[in-house]
Amino acid sequence: MIEITKEIEIDMAHRLPNHEWKCRSLHWHRYKIEATVEWEIISKDIWMIIDYSELKKVMIDYIDEKFDHWAIFYKEDPFKKYFIEMINLWDQNPDKLHFVNFIPTAENLCKYWFELIELPLRKEYWITLKKLRVWETPTSSAIYIK
């Protein structure tokens, strides 16, 4: 097997309604997202698995364009209506809010984003997404490996 990794960065707000400390408040992170793809070496003449720009394009299309400078919340968050009102006052673009079926922790975001890019990589490039790593801070990350 051979692996390559590409990373992108996005800025996104979230809130963890069940958290007992600071993360219960609405706050932002500069997320670094690393996608690692793998390929089985079937010949010594392998040239490349995928061009890094193509891997980046999938990450941009399915993660960056949908989440960068947006906010993500648990769909059962008790403050959901206030977040909708707030975004309507600021920017009048409710599409900038994502309400999901899970608490948006780094671990859950990692699995979610993995699932978003796994199928396009397999269908368009015939490659396997091995793992996705999400850095929530420079010293804290989660890794989803399928």
Residues 16, 23: contact at Cβ < 8 Å? yes
Rounded distance, CA 13 to CA 3, Å? 31
Q: Give pTM, 2 decimals.
A: 0.89
- Token pair belonging to 85: 């009102």
Tell me the pLDDT tens digit for each residue of 90-116: 665 556 788 999 999 999 999 999 999
User: pLDDT averaged over the chain?
Assistant: 89
Residue 46 has pLDDT above 70, yes or no: no
- How is domain 2-145 classified at the CATH fold level? Tetrahydropterin Synthase; Chain A (3.30.479)
Distance CA 44, CA 24 (A): 52
Across 19-28, 29-38, 67-76, least confident range: 19-28
Contact predicate 73/80, CB 8 Å: yes
The predicted-structure confidence for 60-93, as pLDDT tens digits, reads as follows 999 999 999 988 999 999 988 888 887 777 665 5
Q: What is the pLDDT of residue 92?
A: 58
